Amino acid sequence: MKKPNGSSRIAFIALAMCMMAAAFITARAAGQDEQWQIQRADYGWRDRRVDVTGLLIDLLSHGGVNGRVAVNNQTMGGDPAVGADKNLRIFARNRRGAEREFDFKEGGAIDITMFELPRNDWGDRGNGPGNGPGYGQNDRPEWRGFQIIRGFYGVQGRTVNVTDMLRGRVRDGVLSLRVENGALGGDPAVGADKILIVIYRYQGQEQATAVREGNTLTIP
């Protein structure tokens, strides 16, 4: 039997390595595709933490910004530990019943495809920021450089879609209003301290801001 020469051995080894790499990439991709269902989430530092489960599920369900949700005081509804480096903890479970804790540092971002979420209340056909109702209707000359992507008002899952309402309040490229039930079409959570969250694009940069009930929102 003829022994393989050096070139044949090199070719065989290269082929084997390619097959192993492909198998590794496939397995890794399969693991990344696994989605987790959020059970609970809190934001803060040490024992100064607030429950943000409902707020986070709302943000993720609404598609985030370019498929990601930023982790900061604005998107999490406030600063529970001023001056501290905060983090977001997400406690989740997959379809096999396995449990896992995710930890995101303040200033980071969450990929929405990581989590399995209920269908959002925007009537979207997808999770992208361009799929919501009325998206693209604000591409008028006076809106150039400033575009409202999404807006919702409420607390802990009891929110209402106020996107179109906010778009209608823009004057000369500026949105300014007092955050109160009368200005936002009613009270979605009677007795609770509500938050208005607005995701918008300004001069090519997508940002999010959160304003508590009783305060004034002005953007950009």
Return the H-helix or E-strand segment holding 183. none
In this predicted structure, the answer to whether residue 85 has a pLDDT above a threshold of 90 is yes
Of residues 136 and 48, more confidence is placed in 48
Supply the pLDDT for residue 161.
85
Assign 30 to helix, strand or coil. Answer: helix
Supply the pLDDT for residue 33.
55
Supply the pLDDT for residue 1.
52
Highest-scoring range by mean pLDDT, 52-61, 106-115, 153-162: 106-115
Residue appearing with tokens 């051995």 = 9
Of residues 15 and 98, more confidence is placed in 98
Phi and psi at 82, nearest 5°, equal: -60, 130
Confidence of residue 58 (pLDDT cuts 50, 70, 90): confident
Q: Mean pLDDT, to the nearest integer, of 137-150?
A: 60
Supply the pLDDT for residue 101.
94
Sketch the domain layout of the chain as residue ranges. Answer: 35-118, 134-220
Residues 6 or more apart in contact with residue 212 via CB below 8 angstroms? 77, 78, 179, 193, 194, 195, 196
pTM of the predicted structure, to 2 decimals: 0.55
Residue type, 36: W
Q: Average model confidence (pLDDT) for the chain? A: 75
Q: Mean pLDDT, to the nearest integer, of 139-166?
A: 75
